[in-house]
Amino acid sequence: MRKKAELKGFDPGPLQALHERKPLGQHVFDNLKQAIVRGKIAPGEWLVESHIAEMLGISRTPVREAIHKLERERLIERQPRGGFTVLGLEPDDIEETFGIRSVLEGYAARLATLKHQPRELKALEAKIEDYRHCLEKKQMDTLPEINTEFHEMLYDLSKSPRLIYMINGLRDQIFRFRQMILRNEKFAVISNEDHIQMLNFMRQRNAEKVESLVREHILRGRDAVLKEFVE
């Protein structure tokens, strides 16, 4: 029997009010996408246009628009008998995504090391402290968000809008991977140790070491994710 997504992670919000600011289909898409990325709608669950429209109390047209966008982004897959299923993560996709990340983010960290102002590192220090506090409290669910904020702050210091845009294109895929990696306490601890070391090298203006560390950091994450496919 098909398992339809219950949409527990889907927050439609005040649809009427949001409709005034952006198309309703875009709002449905944004929220469905975040529910998939954050694991609220699990791989293999079915998304049926009529079921979603009925649950949200809206017409099928904006839902159809959202479904087609999700399909184009390879988050869901059309099934021969109707409906769509949420796609999981494939090893080839993981290899490719982490390979691209290691190059883009390593270069962004190099630029950030060369271009930042010393006072701008205080925000990174604060984010490391937030992460450490949550780790000590075993609040593992909060770590991916804090981790993401740290990396975004770091790459913003590159002062390269084009590079940041390219990195942000992978943002949602990256978040899915971070959730997998950081639920393991061992990797969660190593991740923060890496961040502390990155900050130390940035203070020294050692762009080569920062770039190398960021690449190692990302590829270590790749190996942790791929390990889940072996076990």
At 156 the pLDDT is 97
The pLDDT tens digits for 187-211 are: 999 999 999 999 999 999 999 999 9
- For CA atoms 193, 194, 195, 196, the dihedral sign is positive
The reply to whether CATH 1.20.120.530 applies to domain 91-230 is yes
- Entry pTM: 0.74
The pLDDT tens digits for 92-136 are: 888 999 999 999 999 999 999 999 999 999 999 999 999 999 999
Topology (CATH level 3) of domain 15-86: Arc Repressor Mutant, subunit A (1.10.10)
Where in the chain are all domains bearing CATH 1.10.10.10?
Answer: 15-86
Where in the chain are all domains bearing CATH 1.20.120.530?
Answer: 91-230
At 127 the pLDDT is 97
DSSP letters along 164-198, please?
HHHHHTTHHHHHHHHHHHHTSHHHHHHHHHHHHHH
75/70 Cα distance (integer angstroms)? 5
